[in-house]
Amino acid sequence: MENSTRLDLYRQMVLIRTFEETILREYHADKAPIWDIGAGLIPGEMHLSAGQEPVAVAVCANLTPDDAVTATHRPHHFAIAHGMSLERLAAEIYGREDGLGRGRGGHMHLFDPSIHFSCSGIIAEGYPPALGQAFAFKSKGSQAVAVAVTGEGAANQGAFHESLNLAAAWRLPVVFVIEDNDWAISVPRSLSTSVASNAERAKAYGIPGERIEDNSLEDIFAAAKRAVDRARSGGGPTLLEVHTLRLWGHFEGDAQGYRPDLDGVAQRDPLPAYEMHLRALGVADDDVIKGAVTEAQARVEAAISFAKSSPIPEPSSATRYVFS
Amino acid sequence: MENSTRLDLYRQMVLIRTFEETILREYHADKAPIWDIGAGLIPGEMHLSAGQEPVAVAVCANLTPDDAVTATHRPHHFAIAHGMSLERLAAEIYGREDGLGRGRGGHMHLFDPSIHFSCSGIIAEGYPPALGQAFAFKSKGSQAVAVAVTGEGAANQGAFHESLNLAAAWRLPVVFVIEDNDWAISVPRSLSTSVASNAERAKAYGIPGERIEDNSLEDIFAAAKRAVDRARSGGGPTLLEVHTLRLWGHFEGDAQGYRPDLDGVAQRDPLPAYEMHLRALGVADDDVIKGAVTEAQARVEAAISFAKSSPIPEPSSATRYVFS
Amino acid sequence: MVKIETSPQQVTSRKLTVSKAMVEGIAQEMERDPSVIVLGEDVGAYGGIFSSTTGLLERFGPGRILDTPISETAFIGLGTGAAVEGMRPIVELMFVDFFGVAMDQIYNHMAKIHYESGGNVLVPMVLMTAVGGGYSDGAQHSQCLWGTFAHLPGMKVVVPSSPADAKGLMISAIRDENPVVYMFHKGVMGLPWMTKSTHALGDVPEESYTVPIGKAAITRSGTDVTVVTLSLSVHHSLDVADELAKEGIECEVVDLRSLVPLDRATVLESVAKTGRLVVVDEDYQSFGLSGEIAAIIAEEDPRLLRCPMKRVCVPDTPIPYARSLEQATLPTPTRIAAAIRDVMA
Amino acid sequence: MVKIETSPQQVTSRKLTVSKAMVEGIAQEMERDPSVIVLGEDVGAYGGIFSSTTGLLERFGPGRILDTPISETAFIGLGTGAAVEGMRPIVELMFVDFFGVAMDQIYNHMAKIHYESGGNVLVPMVLMTAVGGGYSDGAQHSQCLWGTFAHLPGMKVVVPSSPADAKGLMISAIRDENPVVYMFHKGVMGLPWMTKSTHALGDVPEESYTVPIGKAAITRSGTDVTVVTLSLSVHHSLDVADELAKEGIECEVVDLRSLVPLDRATVLESVAKTGRLVVVDEDYQSFGLSGEIAAIIAEEDPRLLRCPMKRVCVPDTPIPYARSLEQATLPTPTRIAAAIRDVMA
Ligand SMILES: Cc1ncc(C[n+]2csc(CCOP(=O)(O)OP(=O)(O)O)c2C)c(N)n1
Ligand SMILES: Cc1ncc(C[n+]2csc(CCOP(=O)(O)OP(=O)(O)O)c2C)c(N)n1
Ligand SMILES: [Mg+2]
Ligand SMILES: [Mg+2]
């Protein structure tokens, strides 16, 4: 990997983390003194992606805006890494007219046709539409690929299986990415999944499967490159599983009482680790790092301001957009 | 395999084939001159199992009536092999009060609690209830196992995947059996399935998988024995795929215009082949064979007579049995 | 192009079955628009289990007519994703009874993406599916279930009963920018291997034309009683109306044709005229279409009805296999006639 | 054992939330009957995302309280199979919105096996599931969908609104020989982290007792207008009724409690008395509960209604995320009050 790429991906990770930290702050800011999930400027469930930044930035580094990405209930890192406007993302999270879905969707339902981005709150059900995008790309003779993302818990859902088989049978240009953060809410992977690595499941479809350990940005990048290249050149789908980290709770408000590994979590944060790596390589120093953080903060705060000043949807418009 | 078992299983195959041939005759008997699927004493869809007898008899030879079997839309061979009363089976096919479901169910919905038998017309959806039966057996401390059957087309359905993973994760006493007859209605396996052998898919669940070629009764028996023993002794599930043969159409009325292999089908009929095998072994001669056929015919015709003389359900009782 | 409102203006027409009319509509759109594709189980060489795609593979090839694995979630979702990228997929769910294996893709994705995206994403897709019983196919292969689809927002739901509507509604569905669920009753298709209603054959213009989605058709006018119905039950209701006319009872038969949008105005107008209402619906009785029709009137003016309404529906029971039982649950001509006589009494 | 018809006879009771009452009902049945088990996602250590199973793992251990993979089809089907073999599983579908991934197991299997077997097989299973919106959880996590379940035959459908009913209906559901869908609104549970209705806390007897399935409760009697409703909307309707009483409008509030079976008699009696009807339903408006209520009256005597009925439902739109929009779609006290004033005008 080139150092410029390293730096670029590092900056993206910082941007994502800054975004998630800011949403965290804003989400909780006005729910006090009695914490009420429906209260405040940002209501509803909130699934943040801190700890999983390496997956998103390393995968999306191999994509262009012509490629599709379908994400999950935990979509911000992939949205940002794939190039979504922070302003329109933030505005959607605040439920405003300038949001990607004019406030209709919310944080689990982000649709940005300009970068072929979508997501779904239903486990594994983002996979099938990705097949259709890949099918359309192939039919049009474009070289674009579709990347479909789920968590490791989703790999036990029927849609996962059907999608891998169909994509393989039709040799569709899809890259399936599993973010294994060890947990599906409170259920540990070991209790739910009958196989140690979901990459093994690729064998059930006669396609290549790879597991990337240690949340390693550079390994993910290399594996994703292989997979994207294969898809672009007509070689069909690949399954990648990345062992990543859920740094925070499943959603905000999750006390994580069920989580024995909680103590060691902070030490496994991939961001300081990658920062050290860049320092060791001589790619980054205090200035570069501070610069990345400062720039990220400025961009995110600007997006938040934009969101907060965007109009709240008119109640009378609630039934618009059911049909075109 | 002992010769007595061979002979017993041969006789069961003859019984099943005789049953299917008789239903074939009866089904078409009163649909002339204009063939109408809803007409006649046996209306509705009819999926017959001729050619697949070796799977049913060889698997069920390892079971007792305490064990559960869930079958598919093509259920007669497994029903008979697992010990279902021919009379009550036939009566259900005729839609009569003495049928297993008092005529409410029909040939795709056979429920016989006395032998823990059930089936479903929805592809692969017979698998999940089998898990529950296995779970109940295990909870009660019984040694019973559940056998869940589907076709090869069903192995691409979500329920297949979820069931194998859950059974493996919970180490349930289940044997999954795939009858690969090359076809899912008109769609050949090669077009639908991304892997050459579904036994490969066992790897996705960390369980043993075996493919049995050539519709071989004796190989199926041996593999099923290993699988049933494993399940009984707490070793968890196994996946078996048997390469079998759809001797007739998908359902009655299927002209099979799509089927290039049609010419060679009759030669692959497992019944004459096994008969020859028994003759070669000296286990059967003309008398034995004729005896098997005569006895089967007598039993089947008796069952058909029973069915035909059983009362037609009263129209006014149509809404009974919605709730108990 | 001919725009047909209720009955076809014969331009150049011949008699076709519903099945042939549907296929002709699909084929004409496939000629016109290369983004139209068809996918589903046995839609290729087999031509659709209920002849909804006969001959299309031969004509358009395996790149546009695609046999799928038995993976409804995957291939319906594939349709949605392809539609999002500008294609116009027609996806067949072989029997509506199987919706349960793929309903999430249908109602949480296909139906909601347009709304969730604030109108920024279009899903121009047709989900076509066979419905209905009457030939002893049992509890898992005989349902209509249109009430279930119509209850969930974001999809249009059309249910043709005549060959001309079958073609025109198919073309409208394909051209619609929204997801449309197109439900065809096996009993209206005119299949050679199933009891045929005489109404399954009818005049169909050769040209391409649309039938507007959301407009009911008065298939027979009358002054005494309004029969609100759809699909195969339209055929039965028309037959019954002919019979009862001999007794001096004049039925107005309203073929809804579309459940979403629902043509409330036509229903209200007819009931305002006749003052009597029978709803004939092959779906389950409770919490479905017949209730919605009742609500339309109760919301407007309950006193439009000069006597209690009657429902001729499938009772709330799984559909039995035995013919004697199944016939007792279906809205047969006998039951329809009895209900009409009842409201006239 | 106390048998409660409408309001609990206080034997020894204390105030509990709906959530605690539900859990107490489950625990008492688990003590009594070793064949009762609970399975679903996060029902173990987490105690249920909406506190429907809090403390059960600690009390009954992982052999009877089972966290499942995210495989709704497999584990709901597992429940059915276990029920067929004589167990009494309580299976949680975390949000009703997810029904689409497992509906085949629910309505083609759990609901139909008893019928298809001619009554020979029993499926004594409870499917419990969280419903409802109001906290900006968006289009895939805020629905009620009871109309969808009530439309399909073979399952009872209960929807408690009060703590006492929550416990008694849970016990009835567990003991029922039939599959029962038990739908609890997140907003009635009394969760510490969600806006609480004052009605979410109420007297609950300590003893084990059943509330009969299929009987509505008159939660407030009145002479002017009948409000037919259920679940969280009962709470809102009672609050509105208190307000309107000050203006001299006397509302009768009918809490249906059960959709299948539906207590037609109670609805008819109340409407016969008041002559005015408002249906308040947090499910989608069309082809659902509100229509069924209209049909009950239209079938009996449309002229029981002296003026048009009003529906206060979720319009036929996916549930929007933004608070301003979501509140506009929900049956809020404001909308309920407006509808009641309308029918009184
Ligand atoms: C079909 C379905 N079942 C259950 C849920 C509830 N749910 C939301 S997130 C989640 C856990 C997902 O785990 P995983 O796939 O590992 O993703 P992670 O949250 O760890 O990123 C569950 C069970 C859902 N959204 N959809
Ligand atoms: C979910 C579902 N989809 C489609 C069907 C229609 N269907 C019935 S049998 C069949 C083919 C099944 O093929 P396979 O599993 O190989 O079994 P076989 O008929 O060959 O025994 C199909 C598609 C169904 N019953 N259920
Ligand atoms: Mg996870
Ligand atoms: Mg097959």
**Which chain C residue has its CA at the smallest distance from B43's CA?**
C136
Give the ligand 2 atom nearest the CA of B125. 1
Query: C49 to chain B nearest CA, in Å?
Result: 9
Helix (H) or strand (E) run with residue C67 in it: strand C65-67
Beta-bridged to residue D227, according to DSSP, are D253, D278
CB–CB of D321 and A44 under 8 A? yes
Q: How many CA atoms lie within 13 A of A37 on its CB side?
A: 22
Question: How confident is the model at residue A217, as a pLDDT?
Answer: 98
Shortest-distance ligand to the CA of residue D73? 1
Three-state SS for D59? helix
Residue count (chain A): 324
- Residues D104 and C143: their CA atoms lie apart, in Å, by 13
Amino acid at B23: I
Beta-bridged to residue D210, according to DSSP, are D3
What is the DSSP pairing of strand C156-158 with strand C88-95?
A: unpaired
Interacting residues of A282 by C-beta distance below 8 A, sequence separation 6+: none
Query: A290 to chain D nearest CA, in Å?
Result: 36
Three-state SS for C101? helix
Is D75 within 8 Å of D43 (Cβ atoms)?
Answer: no
Cis peptide preceding D205, ω within 30 of 0: no
CB–CB of C136 and B35 under 8 A? no
> What subunits make at least 3 CB pairs under 8 angstroms with C?
A, B, D
D 55-84 near C (Cβ less than 8 A) = 73
Three-state SS for C163? helix
Strand runs labelled E in chain A: 68-71, 117-119, 146-151, 174-180, 183-184, 187-188, 209-212, 238-243
Flag whether pLDDT at D5 surpasses 60: no
D117 and chain C: CB distance < 8 Å anywhere?
A: no
Give me the mean pLDDT over the A195-207 stretch.
98
Q: Same domain, yes or no, for D165 and D267?
A: no
Q: Is the distance from the beta carbon of residue D159 to the nearest atom of ligand 1 less than 6 Å?
A: no
Q: Is the distance from the beta carbon of residue A76 to the nearest atom of ligand 1 less than 6 Å?
A: no
What is the percent of chain D where pLDDT is above 70?
97
Nearest to D16 by CA among D233, D194, D189: D189
Residues whose beta carbons lie less than 5 angstroms from ion ligand 3: A 151-153, 181, 184
- Residues D90 and D80: their CA atoms lie apart, in Å, by 10
Question: How confident is the model at residue C9, as a pLDDT?
Answer: 53
D250 and chain A: CB distance < 8 Å anywhere?
A: no
Q: Which residues of B touch D122 (CB under 8 A)?
A: 324
Residue A83: phi and psi, rounded to 5, are 105, 20
Q: Same domain, yes or no, for C47 and C180?
A: yes
Largest CA distance in chain C: 59
**Six-digit token string for C333:** 């001509």
Question: How confident is the model at residue C266, as a pLDDT?
Answer: 98
Query: D133 to chain C nearest CA, in Å?
Result: 16
Query: D10 to chain C nearest CA, in Å?
Result: 36
Flag whether pLDDT at D88 surpasses 70: yes
**Six-digit token string for A279:** 């320092």
Instruction: Show the CA angle centred on residue A16, arms to residues A7 and C82, nearest 5°.
Output: 105
Catalytic entry in C141, C185, C235, C236: C141
So where are chain B's domains?
3-71+80-310
Q: Same domain, yes or no, for C158 and C226?
A: no
Q: Does C5 map to a domain?
A: no
Question: How confident is the model at residue C1, as a pLDDT?
Answer: 35
By Cβ distance, the residue of A103, A122, A139 closest to C87 is A139
Q: Which residues of C touch A147 (CB under 8 A)?
A: none
Mean per-residue pLDDT of chain D: 96
By Cβ distance, the residue of C67, C317, C318 closest to B187 is C67
D62 and chain B: CB distance < 8 Å anywhere?
A: no
- Residues A76 and A52: their CA atoms lie apart, in Å, by 10
Residue count (chain C): 345
The residue written with tokens 């407006």 in the block is: D338
Query: B113 to chain C nearest CA, in Å?
Result: 19
Three-state SS for C60? helix
- Residues C158 and C138: their CA atoms lie apart, in Å, by 24
D316 and chain B: CB distance < 8 Å anywhere?
A: no
Beta-bridged to residue A117, according to DSSP, are A69, A112
Q: Is A135 exposed, middle or buried, given 0-12, 13-18 or 19+ CB atoms closer than 10 A?
A: buried
Question: How confident is the model at residue A108, as a pLDDT?
Answer: 98
CB–CB of C138 and D154 under 8 A? no
Q: What is the CATH number of the domain that holds C51?
A: 3.40.50.970
**Six-digit token string for A6:** 């390293």
CB–CB of C301 and D286 under 8 A? no
Q: Same domain, yes or no, for D116 and D26?
A: yes
C 140-159 near D (Cβ less than 8 A) = 140, 147-148, 150-154
Give the ligand 2 atom nearest the CA of B49. 21
Is B113 within 8 Å of D59 (Cβ atoms)?
Answer: no
Q: Please give chain B's pLDDT, 324 residues, in tens.
A: 999 999 999 999 999 999 999 999 999 999 988 899 999 999 999 999 999 999 999 999 999 999 999 999 999 999 999 999 999 999 999 999 999 999 999 999 999 999 999 999 999 999 999 999 999 999 999 999 999 999 999 999 999 999 999 999 999 999 999 999 999 999 999 999 999 999 999 999 999 999 999 999 999 999 999 999 999 999 999 999 999 999 999 999 999 999 998 889 999 999 999 999 999 999 999 999 999 999 999 999 999 999 999 999 999 999 999 999
Is C316 within 8 Å of C286 (Cβ atoms)?
Answer: yes
Beta-bridged to residue C39, according to DSSP, are C66, C91
- Residues D151 and B248: their CA atoms lie apart, in Å, by 38
Q: What is D35-77 written as a DSSP string?
A: TEEEEETT-STT--TTSSSTTHHHHH-TTTEEE--S-HHHHHH
Q: How many CA atoms lie within 13 A of C185 on its CB side?
A: 30
C54 and chain B: CB distance < 8 Å anywhere?
A: no
Q: Does D61 map to a domain?
A: yes
Q: Ligand 4 centre and the CA of B179: distance in Å? A: 7
Helix (H) or strand (E) run with residue A24 in it: helix A3-29
- Residues C253 and C80: their CA atoms lie apart, in Å, by 36
Q: Same domain, yes or no, for D193 and D331?
A: no
Alpha helices per DSSP H over D207-332: 232-246, 264-274, 289-300, 323-329
Shortest-distance ligand to the CA of residue B254? 2
Query: A187 to chain C nearest CA, in Å?
Result: 23
Question: How confident is the model at residue A129, as a pLDDT?
Answer: 98
Q: Does D296 map to a domain?
A: yes
Establish whether this prediction's ipTM goes over 0.95. Answer: yes
CB–CB of A158 and B158 under 8 A? yes
Question: How confident is the model at residue C2, as a pLDDT?
Answer: 42
D63 and chain A: CB distance < 8 Å anywhere?
A: no
Confidence of residue A54 (pLDDT cuts 50, 70, 90): very high
Q: Same domain, yes or no, for C222 and C95?
A: no
Q: Same domain, yes or no, for D181 and D242?
A: no
Helix (H) or strand (E) run with residue D314 in it: strand D310-314
Q: Same domain, yes or no, for C64 and C148?
A: yes
Q: Same domain, yes or no, for D67 and D107?
A: yes
A235 and chain B: CB distance < 8 Å anywhere?
A: no
What is the percent of chain B where pLDDT is above 70?
100
Nearest to C199 by CA among C238, C230, C248, C256: C238
Q: Does D6 map to a domain?
A: no
The residue segments making up the domain with residue D169 are 12-210
Share in percent of chain B as helix, strand, coil (round to 5): 50, 10, 40
Name the domain boundary from C170, C189, C210: C210
B vs C, Cβ pairs < 8 A, gives 145
Q: Is B34 exposed, middle or buried, given 0-12, 13-18 or 19+ CB atoms closer than 10 A?
A: exposed
D138 and chain A: CB distance < 8 Å anywhere?
A: yes
What is the percent of chain D where pLDDT is above 90?
95
> What number of other Cβ atoms are within 10 A of residue B142's Cβ?
14
Name the domain boundary from D151, D175, D210: D210
Q: Does D1 map to a domain?
A: no
Is C223 within 8 Å of C196 (Cβ atoms)?
Answer: no
**Six-digit token string for D272:** 């016969």
Flag whether pLDDT at D115 surpasses 60: yes
Mean per-residue pLDDT of chain A: 97
Domain A3-71+80-310 class in CATH: alpha beta
Ligand 2-lining residues (CB < 6 angstroms) = B 73-74, 121-123, 150-154, 179, 181, 183-185, 246, 250; C 41, 70, 72, 94, 98, 101
- Residues B182 and B189: their CA atoms lie apart, in Å, by 5
Order of strands across the sheet that contains C225-229? C217-220, C251-255, C225-229, C277-284, C310-314
Which residues of D are catalytic, by number? 141
Q: Same domain, yes or no, for D267 and D135?
A: no
The residue written with tokens 């506190």 in the block is: D51
C74 and chain A: CB distance < 8 Å anywhere?
A: yes
Three-state SS for C251? strand
Q: Is the distance from the beta carbon of residue A154 to the nearest atom of ligand 1 less than 6 Å?
A: yes
B 86-115 near D (Cβ less than 8 A) = 99-106, 109, 111, 113
Q: Does C3 map to a domain?
A: no
Give me the mean pLDDT over the D23-52 stretch.
98
Which of C106, C286, C317, C324 is the best residue to mutate to test the D interface, defined by the most D CB atoms within 10 Å of its own CB?
C286
Give me the mean pLDDT over the A183-198 stretch.
97
Q: Please give chain C's pLDDT, 345 residues, in tens.
A: 344 444 545 578 899 999 999 999 999 999 999 999 999 999 999 999 999 999 999 999 999 999 999 999 999 999 999 999 999 999 999 999 999 999 999 999 999 999 999 999 999 999 999 999 999 999 999 999 999 999 999 999 999 999 999 999 999 999 999 999 999 999 999 999 998 888 989 999 999 999 999 999 999 999 999 999 999 999 999 999 999 999 999 999 999 999 999 999 999 999 999 999 999 999 999 999 999 999 999 999 999 999 999 999 999 999 999 999 999 999 999 999 999 999 999
Q: Does D7 map to a domain?
A: no
Amino acid at C265: A
pTM of the model: 0.98
Q: What is the DSSP letter of C135?
A: S
By Cβ distance, the residue of B35, B95, B158 closest to C136 is B95
Q: Is the distance from the beta carbon of residue D309 to the nearest atom of ligand 1 less than 6 Å?
A: no
Interacting residues of D257 by C-beta distance below 8 A, sequence separation 6+: D158, D159, D160, D161, D165, D169, D211, D215, D216, D217, D230, D263
Three-state SS for D3? strand
Q: How many CA atoms lie within 13 A of C247 on its CB side?
A: 12
Q: Is the distance from the beta carbon of residue D224 to the nearest atom of ligand 1 less than 6 Å?
A: no
Cis peptide preceding D308, ω within 30 of 0: no
Inter-helix orientation angle A286-309/A3-29, to 10°: 40
C115 and chain A: CB distance < 8 Å anywhere?
A: yes
Nearest to A220 by CA among A245, A199, A238, A241: A241
Q: What is A109-128 written as a DSSP string?
A: ---BGGGTEEE-SSTTTTHH
* D289-332 residue pLDDT tens: 999 999 999 999 999 999 999 999 999 999 999 999 999 999 99
> What number of other Cβ atoms are within 10 A of residue C12's Cβ?
8
Nearest to D105 by CA among C343, B67, B186, B159: B159
Q: What is the CATH number of the domain that holds C240?
A: 3.40.50.920
Q: Same domain, yes or no, for C168 and C267?
A: no
Interacting residues of A177 by C-beta distance below 8 A, sequence separation 6+: A55, A59, A147, A148, A149, A150, A224, A240, A241, A242
- Residues B174 and B232: their CA atoms lie apart, in Å, by 9
Q: Same domain, yes or no, for C276 and C255?
A: yes
Three-state SS for B157? coil
Domains in chain C: how many in total? 2
Nearest to C68 by CA among C84, C89, C97: C89
Q: Is the distance from the beta carbon of residue A189 to the nearest atom of ligand 1 less than 6 Å?
A: no
CB–CB of B132 and D83 under 8 A? yes
Question: How confident is the model at residue D6, as a pLDDT?
Answer: 46
Question: How confident is the model at residue C198, as a pLDDT?
Answer: 86
> What number of other Cβ atoms are within 10 A of residue D78's Cβ?
33
